[in-house]
Chains A and B, each alone.
Chain A
Amino acid sequence: MNEIDASRIVSAVKTLCMEANYQVDPIVRERLRIALDQEDSPIAREILEMILENHVLAQEKQMPVCQDCGVAVVFVELGQDVHIVGGDFYEAIQEGVRRGYSDGYLRKSIVADPVFGRKNTRDNTPALIYTDIVPGDSIQITVVPKGGGAENMSEIKMLKPADGIEGVKNFIVDRVKRSGGNPCPPVIVGVGVGGDFEQCALMAKKALMRPLNEPNPVPEWAEVERDLLAHINELGIGPMGTGGKTTALAVQIIQKPCHMASLPVAVNIQCHAHRHWSVRIG
């Protein structure tokens, strides 16, 4: 058994919030450079150049890549042999988010009630925390600042099993098409297929976390991912929706067993400012 003090979680989460906001996934940068090589449209090229320059400026100045520092989505893999001491585990994560967003000069975007008053909570809490218990005696924590613009273009649909893979593909491509320039393309398309209603949506978000250069481990699904990426890029939406060859940088699917009556599909769109940062404690 490994004893871990809650204060270590507070400081780890604080650092994660800041690091995650100051830099994008390096594979996104690689893919944006490739996109720039391929684009002919002068506007698309200028947009991509500006985005790439912005990454460098954000790193240099230690400023958030995007002013939308998102809701802090926190994925935890908690080793079953870990014993947390010196405080409440979830409260330690919330406190880390509070400190990270305050000390890191990150924008606080959370309102307390979704309809009435919509008053800002002033410290970007509550963070959304998802915990999996795993073998081992360490804790892996990932912070994903998820911006509102791309999240708003996400959707879940309960298809009929008869809709099959064509139905799944049509829903995903149509969702990206209807999003146009709103989610800040080139986007990353996270997809959940299967599970039940709420698990499917979470799968779509978790799919964004799979390394962008790792295809789906199941060959049929890897082919679906390649196919969808080609289809989406044929839409011509382009960088920021002004037309161009690159609308998405990756399509990432997680598929899971589901009820024989069901075929849930969820699409979680991520903007080109794809930010996530992980640390292992223990």
Chain B
Amino acid sequence: MKMMRVHELTTPLTPEAISALRAGDKVLLSGIVYSARDAAHKRLLEMIRRGELLPFDLAGQVIYYLSPSPAKPGAVIGSAGPTSSYRLDPYTPALLDLGLKGMIGKGARSREVIDAIVKNRAVYFMAVGGAAVKMAQSVVSARVIAFPDLEAEAILELKIDKMPLFVAVDASGNDIFQI
């Protein structure tokens, strides 16, 4: 049986760290990541079109396609697994062009997104869908930083510690979903 390479990384992601990643590697990711899914992406792109300042600086950052369940009293977050990434494909190349370096989601990406990942030397991580309590265990803190009116889809700033992920698309365009 083939051994899996494991990397421990902290955000923001450096070009060197990204270059070392290969599709199929395991990553334990720490640092700050930002949650955003359909409605938040739509707003981010509208803000970019209008030339407005975004709620967080994209440079070197990672977006987690996440909308968690509510935190129970005393907990920092509820269940926190990924949503399907393909729905965010129309928005992703523009964010990568502005410096975003990583996305966490599940499922395959479009050709356009993979091309934008290669062009910008970025990375797409896969989290295990439906392993949402497991994923929540690596979330240290969470706070809403933008779009509270979007309810479950508001943007959260998450501090994470060794979140278990897999490299799905690396900076050379290798794609784990191409069987």
Q: Which residues of A contact B (CB under 8 A)?
A: 40, 42-43, 46-47, 50-51, 53-54, 57-58, 61, 63-69, 105-109, 118, 120, 122, 148-149, 152, 180-182, 184, 236-238, 240-243, 271-273
Looking at the complex, which one of A67, A118, A152, A182 makes contact with B132 (CB distance below 8 Å)?
A67
Given A64-B69, A107-B70, A181-B106, CB of A42 within 8 Å of CB of B3: yes
Count B interface residues, CB 8 Å: 44
Check if A122 sits within 8 Å of B151, measured CB to CB: yes
**A215 shortest CB reach to chain B, Å:** 26
**A135 shortest CB reach to chain B, Å:** 38
**B158 shortest CB reach to chain A, Å:** 13
Given A109-B152, A271-B129, CB of A65 within 8 Å of CB of B166: no
Check if B79 sits within 8 Å of A50, measured CB to CB: no
**B163 shortest CB reach to chain A, Å:** 12
Report the separation of the CA atoms of residues A47 and B134 in the bound assembly, to the nearest whole angstrom.
Answer: 11
**A89 shortest CB reach to chain B, Å:** 28
**A147 shortest CB reach to chain B, Å:** 8
Q: Which residues of B contact A (CB under 8 A)?
A: 1-4, 24, 26, 39, 66-72, 78-81, 83-84, 86, 106-108, 126, 128-134, 136-137, 150-153, 164, 166, 168, 176-177, 179
Report the separation of the CA atoms of residues A166 and B70 in the bound assembly, to the nearest whole angstrom.
Answer: 46
Report the separation of the CA atoms of residues A124 and B39 in the bound assembly, to the nearest whole angstrom.
Answer: 17
**A98 shortest CB reach to chain B, Å:** 14
**B99 shortest CB reach to chain A, Å:** 27
Residue of B nearest to A274 (CB): B130
Check if B151 sits within 8 Å of A182, measured CB to CB: no
Check if B79 sits within 8 Å of A65, measured CB to CB: yes
A selection of 7 A-B contacts at a CB cut-off of 8 Å is A42-B3, A47-B128, A53-B134, A54-B132, A64-B133, A108-B151, A242-B166
Given A63-B79, A107-B152, A122-B151, CB of A241 within 8 Å of CB of B132: no
**Residues of B contacting A: mostly:** loop
Check if A105 sits within 8 Å of B78, measured CB to CB: yes
In the complex, besides A65-B132, A182-B106, 12 extra interface pairs with C-beta distance below 8 angstroms are A42-B4, A43-B166, A46-B26, A50-B164, A64-B69, A64-B78, A67-B80, A69-B69, A105-B71, A182-B108, A240-B129, A273-B130
Closest 7 CB pairs of A and B: A184-B129, A182-B107, A107-B69, A67-B79, A57-B133, A54-B131, A120-B151
Residue of A nearest to B73 (CB): A105
Of A50, A66, A240, A241, most B-chain CB atoms within 10 Å: A240
Report the separation of the CA atoms of residues A154 and B122 in the bound assembly, to the nearest whole angstrom.
Answer: 32
Given A67-B66, A106-B69, A149-B83, CB of A242 within 8 Å of CB of B133: no
Given A57-B133, A181-B108, A273-B130, CB of A63 within 8 Å of CB of B166: no
Task: Find chain A residues with CB under 8 A from B68 CB.
Answer: 67, 107
Task: Find chain A residues with CB under 8 A from B132 CB.
Answer: 54, 58, 63-67
Given A105-B69, A105-B71, A106-B69, CB of A242 within 8 Å of CB of B176: yes
Report the separation of the CA atoms of residues A65 and B79 in the bound assembly, to the nearest whole angstrom.
Answer: 7
Check if A108 sits within 8 Å of B152, measured CB to CB: yes
Given A42-B3, A180-B107, A181-B106, CB of A63 within 8 Å of CB of B136: yes
Looking at the complex, which one of A46, A67, A152, A242 makes contact with B81 (CB distance below 8 Å)?
A67
Check if A51 sits within 8 Å of B107, measured CB to CB: no
Report the separation of the CA atoms of residues A35 and B26 in the bound assembly, to the nearest whole angstrom.
Answer: 21
Looking at the complex, which one of B66, B79, B177 makes contact with A64 (CB distance below 8 Å)?
B79
**B90 shortest CB reach to chain A, Å:** 15
Check if A152 sits within 8 Å of B79, measured CB to CB: no
Given A57-B137, A105-B69, A105-B70, CB of A66 within 8 Å of CB of B81: yes
**B110 shortest CB reach to chain A, Å:** 12
